[in-house]
A and B are shown apart, each in its own frame.
Chain A
């Protein structure tokens, strides 16, 4: 299924095109080669792949070759840490990067595919995260339920709409 909305700079589109996928689409005001560098080099990643304010990335190891592993660790201001590991499956600079991703034993391993598409001076980055099962994906979507507990189905509907 293709996206019905146009990718924009400064705004992320979140979609759920199938039962097992979550997709992020966003345009960036930079050439594709630069996006590829920013996304694959341990020199660049800790400068931006930091989530919300207050996080740092003290560990960023990346063996960028097929079968090579990567290991990222984030630290919050309160000192708590969160790690993520994975393995590179497909590397086609500057177009396509496929890797597995795991937050640890408790979480299902996902497969992440990044596609960098040139559009004039811009680059559209499409990130597809594939969950191993409907259960795992549904659990991600069902978080709307936690939010909806106070006010019932209305808030759940609104939340699910923001995801699709």
Chain B
């Protein structure tokens, strides 16, 4: 898999999150740093396949790789997730708040009609 150069960081985050395996890898890394070997075990995929996923995640800034040459443990960097989260977390509160207010406003409008 070739990672496409993306125009903006958010698109890179979207693309990186679009894989269930990569999301599962991120969830595992949320518990603490892990090596490729440690990551490949629970996902029953090969080390090279995990490495490819890690490169995509690294490209999106979602993880950092250690410098210890052979092991290079991966660590989660949640900053890009926060950006995505702020966007989509606005969805429910926005509509819940608006709809509650609309209920009230409709009562007002109906009152004016009668």
Contact = CB atoms under 8 A, between A and B. Distances in A.
Contacts of A136: 14
A48 B26 contact: no
Contacts of A22: 91
A53 B97 CA distance: 7
B105 A47 contact: yes
A143 B91 CA distance: 11
Question: Which residue, A12, A51, A108, has most C-beta atoms of chain B within 10 A?
Answer: A51
B104 to A, nearest CB: 8
A35 B106 contact: yes
B36 interface: no
Interface residues of B, number: 42
Contacts of A1: none
Given A34-B109, A106-B8, A24 B15 contact: no
Given A134-B18, A136-B14, A138-B14, A152 B31 contact: yes
B84 A12 contact: no
A28 B103 contact: yes
Contact of B17 (A44, A142, A147, A156): A142
A60 to B, nearest CB: 13
Give 4 nearest A-B pairs by CB, closest first.
Answer: A51-B94, A140-B88, A146-B85, A135-B18
